Amino acid sequence: MVRSSDRGQDPELHLGVLCLIAHRAAETRVMERLHAAGYDDLTVTQARVFARLGPEGTRVGDLAEQAQVTKQTATALVDQLERRAYVERVADPADQRARLVRFAPRGTEACAVARRAEEEVREEWEAHLGPRAAAQLRSALEKLREITDPWA
């Protein structure tokens, strides 16, 4: 994913790599905040599934699809999150045979910590870029999301 320059300069990083670098930096900051707040039993892999829970709950199959993991992997991660009291399984009101995974009280608290950390990162990035560049970046990424995010 590196494009070589015709003039012999350093290779230019692919836009996807640049987005990944920024994403990983933000993810690391959020995880550091969570661990510092006492949620140190939450792993990055678990958090990636946890972050996809909808406010009313989400089926394991949908979590697997969104996290791009197998249903078995998503089930194992949800089992771990449930044992650590971050999530709970409840009957789906739309289909009593199905189960939804939703935030347990501890998960709601952890989510609030993560949201504050995300806000700190946003503020830092906007201060670094300036209001105009930050708005342009947001606009470009939202436009790109139209062709890259099937759950948008």
Where does the pLDDT of residue 1 fall: very low under 50, low under 70, confident under 90, or very high at 90 and above? low
Mean pLDDT of the chain: 93
Res 59 pLDDT > 80 = yes
Predicted pLDDT at 96: 85
How many angstroms separate the CA atoms of 18 and 55, rounded?
Answer: 30
Band of pLDDT at residue 9, cut at 50, 70 and 90: low
Residue 43: give its domain's CATH number: 1.10.10.10
- Total number of domains in the chain: 1
101-107: long-range pairs with CB below 8 Å, 24+: 101/53, 101/57, 101/58, 101/59, 101/60, 101/63, 102/53, 102/56, 102/57, 102/58, 103/53, 107/50, 107/53, 107/81
Residue 10: inside a domain? no
Question: Where is average pLDDT lowest: 58-62, 80-84, 128-132, 146-150?
Answer: 146-150
Structural domain range at position 45:
26-112
Check whether 117 has a pLDDT greater than 60: yes
Q: Provide the whole-model pTM.
A: 0.85
Within a domain: 62: yes
